[in-house]
Amino acid sequence: MAKALAQFSCTACGAVHRKWAGRCDACGAWNSIIEDVPITPGPGVRPGKGRRIALSTLATTEPPPPRKGSGFAELDRVLGGGLVAASAILVGGDPGIGKSTLLLQAVSAFARKGLKCIYVSGEEAAAQVRLRAHRLGLQEAPVQLAAETHLRDIIATIEAETPDLVVIDSIQTMWLDTVESAPGSVAQVRATAHELVSFAKRRGLAVILVGHVTKEGQIAGPRVVEHMVDTVLYFEGERGHQFRILRAVKNRFGPADEIGVFEMTGTGLAEVVNPSALFLSERGAPAPGSVVFAGIEGTRPVLTEIQALVASSTLGTPRRTVVGLDSARLSTILAVLEARCGIPFAGMDVFLNVAGGLRVAEPAADLAVACALLSSREHIALPSDLVVFGEISLSGALRPVSQTENRLKEAQKLGFCRAIAPRLAKPAALPGIELHQMPDLTEVVGRFFGAG
Ligand code: TYD
Ligand code: MG
């Protein structure tokens, strides 16, 4: 057998190198490259034959894992109904978005439901956490608190205390003495997260890890922790807005893509029971460029306002500014409007925004975006009791989207009585909603924007 080549890897970013170097080409860190030592059996140890493992069938008689609700309904919804024992959850988000606030409220809620909870802060002193708890009115919650970053001590404490839930805020501050690099480096984050997750699985407790998102939008550089945990939640929101969205991007115990909506108030995060009403609350009188999109987030319908501003540009390359939507999707819609409907946007700046700080990823928003663009460009305000949804294909045809009925029902609940939607094979009808089923974009332009 050929001798294995020595391999080196960077402890800061995980990049693999053929040779040792003082500086990592991939991340620019100095003195971070170490040789990966292959694991070889010690002297006198001969690799033995494997043991035969027992196989089983897929049929199960076990009941589904019991869940513990916090009573904090928006949080329980995102978790898929509550906390599962022996599970690991990662909560990621920008610094300052409110992760510590959310978790202090969550851990207090679980503690009040009878779970034994430990909150470990690696970022703030115990007095600071206590001060925050006071401000949130949680000083009486039976939560045990520690300010510590040395993981070995934390694990020893958990082992002795046997809690049901441990919150680690944040994983980037934790360190193990067996790993040489600094806290927050990929090697430390990987090692400490692995240690905590495997401990939680072994002992049957639930662990919640807080992770800061780096500039590139990933938790601790390469997504080192995401694959280790059962559930990944992101806490999102625009700084200037009080709305915060907790989104499940991975969940082994429930539906992914589910969202919980919160409002940041002077006394912590408050649940938002009716997100659609909240997202539409800032809407003024009907104005060109404003369209209400009937979307689906996770398992529930959510209405949001999509705003566009199209103005003639003085720049050689006109501006395309997008907040809350995918900018590639905007380019596609502009190209379709130009090529299929003959409406040019060259020489015009385009600004697009989802009101309230929600991020919309659904292709069903295409038609609402197109209508907002047309409405602003043509200075035609759409009726204020109209909702829009539908996917646009490159040919300009409208594709039906899922859950038409749920979208319409939510619109009706909020007092809307008209909708523009793609044509369905089986026409949907809802009393009280005037449904315009359109085959393609050209017809939408002709019907609502008096051109095309
Ligand atoms: P924090 O939970 O510390 O954020 P993270 O842990 O994600 O870094 O939240 C910090 C922000 O939240 C801070 O700017 C102040 C604001 N905040 C409130 O508006 N109301 C409150 O009751 C609390 C505790 C914080
Ligand atoms: Mg924090």
User: Does residue 53 lie within any of the structural domains?
Assistant: no
Q: Say if residue 295's pLDDT is above 70.
A: yes
Q: Are residues 213 and 79 in the same domain?
A: yes
Q: Are residues 20 and 106 in the same domain?
A: no
Distances (CA, A) of 452 to 32, 42, 342, 343: 61, 78, 7, 8
pLDDT of residue 159: 94
Q: Are residues 301 and 343 in the same domain?
A: yes
Q: Are residues 269 and 347 in the same domain?
A: no
Query: Could you give the CA distance from residue 177 to residue 155 in angstroms, rounded to a whole number?
Result: 13
pLDDT of residue 222: 43
Q: Say if residue 215's pLDDT is above 70.
A: no
Q: Are residues 310 and 266 in the same domain?
A: no
Q: Are residues 135 and 256 in the same domain?
A: yes
- The residues with which 23 forms a beta bridge, in sequence order, are 30
Ligand 1 lined by 93 (C-beta under 6 Å) = yes
Of 417, 426, 437, 321, residue with least CA distance to 373 = 321
Question: pLDDT per residue over 257-292, tens digit each?
Answer: 888 999 999 999 999 988 888 888 878 788 899 999
Q: What is the CATH number of the domain that holds 113?
A: 3.40.50.300
For 76, the token pair is 């329980």
Beta strand 243-251 pairing with 259-265: antiparallel
Q: Are residues 257 and 333 in the same domain?
A: no
Q: Are residues 238 and 290 in the same domain?
A: no
Q: Say if residue 293's pLDDT is above 70.
A: yes
Of 152, 134, 155, 151, residue with least CA distance to 143 = 134
Q: Which ligand is nearest to the CA of 235?
A: 1
User: Does residue 335 lie within any of the structural domains?
Assistant: yes
User: Does residue 65 lie within any of the structural domains?
Assistant: no
Backbone φ and ψ of 353, nearest 5°: -150, 140
Domain count, the chain: 3
pLDDT of residue 2: 52
For 134, the token pair is 């006071």
- Closest Cα to atom 21, ligand 1: which residue? 268
- Provide mean pLDDT across the span 93-104: 92
H or E element that contains 447: helix 441-448
Angle at 236 between CA 230 and CA 238, to 5 degrees: 175
Q: Say if residue 100's pLDDT is above 80.
A: yes
Distances (CA, A) of 383 to 38, 99, 175, 201, 417: 68, 39, 58, 55, 10
User: Does residue 61 lie within any of the structural domains?
Assistant: no
Distances (CA, A) of 217 to 10, 77, 93, 321, 441: 21, 24, 9, 19, 34
Cα 25 to the chain's mean position, in Å?
Answer: 31
Q: Which of 101, 123, 168, 265 to mutate to test the pocket of ligand 1 (most atoms within 8 A of CB)?
A: 101
- Closest Cα to atom 1, ligand 1: which residue? 98
| Helix residue ranges per DSSP H, 234-285 | 275-279
User: Does residue 193 lie within any of the structural domains?
Assistant: yes
Ligand 1 lined by 80 (C-beta under 6 Å) = no
DSSP symbols for 419-443: EEEE--SS----TT-EEEEESBHHH
Q: Say if residue 43's pLDDT is above 90.
A: no
User: Does residue 221 lie within any of the structural domains?
Assistant: yes
pLDDT of residue 99: 94
Identify residue 293 by its one-letter amino acid code: F
Contact 115, 164 (CB under 8 A): yes
Q: Are residues 26 and 127 in the same domain?
A: no
Query: Could you give the CA distance from residue 412 to residue 93 in angstroms, rounded to a whole number?
Result: 34
How many of the other CB atoms lie within 10 Å of CB of 155? Answer: 17
Q: Is residue 243 very low, low, confident or very high in pLDDT (cuts 50, 70, 90)?
A: confident
- The residues with which 291 forms a beta bridge, in sequence order, are 306
Beta strand extents in 273-368 (DSSP E only) = 290-297, 300-312, 320-323, 348-354
Longest dimension (CA), the chain: 86
Contact 157, 146 (CB under 8 A): yes
User: Does residue 47 lie within any of the structural domains?
Assistant: no
Report how far ligand 2's centroid is from the alpha carbon of 213 (Å).
12
Lowest mean pLDDT among 16-25, 82-91, 121-130, 386-395: 16-25
Ligand 1 lined by 270 (C-beta under 6 Å) = no
**Helix and strand element counts for the chain (H, E):** 10, 23
Q: Is residue 408 very low, low, confident or very high in pLDDT (cuts 50, 70, 90)?
A: very high
Q: Which ligand is nearest to the CA of 121?
A: 2
DSSP symbols for 364-431: GGHHHHHHHHHHHHHT-PPPTTEEE--EE-TTSBEEP-S-HHHHHHHHHHTT--EEEEE--SS----T
Domain extent at residue 195: 70-273
Q: Which ligand is nearest to the CA of 92?
A: 1
Distances (CA, A) of 404 to 56, 289, 298, 389: 41, 24, 14, 9
Query: Which one of 273, 300, 322 terminates a domain?
Result: 273
Q: Are residues 295 and 166 in the same domain?
A: no
- Closest Cα to atom 14, ligand 1: which residue? 96
Q: What is the DSSP letter of 175?
A: B
Beta strand 165-169 pairing with 117-121: parallel
User: Does residue 20 lie within any of the structural domains?
Assistant: yes
Ligand 1 lined by 288 (C-beta under 6 Å) = no
Cα 250 to the chain's mean position, in Å?
Answer: 9
Cα 232 to the chain's mean position, in Å?
Answer: 8
List, as ranges, residues with CB under 5 A of the ion ligand 2.
100
- Closest Cα to atom 8, ligand 1: which residue? 96
Query: Could you give the CA distance from residue 440 to residue 423 in angstroms, rounded to a whole number?
Result: 9
Contact 167, 103 (CB under 8 A): yes
pLDDT of residue 220: 53
Report how far ligand 1's centroid is from the alpha carbon of 96 (Å).
6
Q: What is the DSSP letter of 363?
A: G
Ligand 1 lined by 183 (C-beta under 6 Å) = no
Lowest mean pLDDT among 45-49, 158-162, 246-250, 375-379: 45-49
Ligand 1 lined by 96 (C-beta under 6 Å) = yes
The pTM (predicted TM-score) of the whole model is 0.81
Q: Are residues 226 and 352 in the same domain?
A: no
Ligand 1 lined by 122 (C-beta under 6 Å) = no
Q: What is the CATH number of the domain that holds 412?
A: 3.30.230.10
Question: What order of strands is seen across the sheet that includes strand 16-17?
Answer: 16-17, 7-10, 33-36
Q: Which of 91, 119, 123, 264 to mutate to test the pocket of ligand 1 (most atoms within 8 A of CB)?
A: 264
Q: Are residues 82 and 221 in the same domain?
A: yes
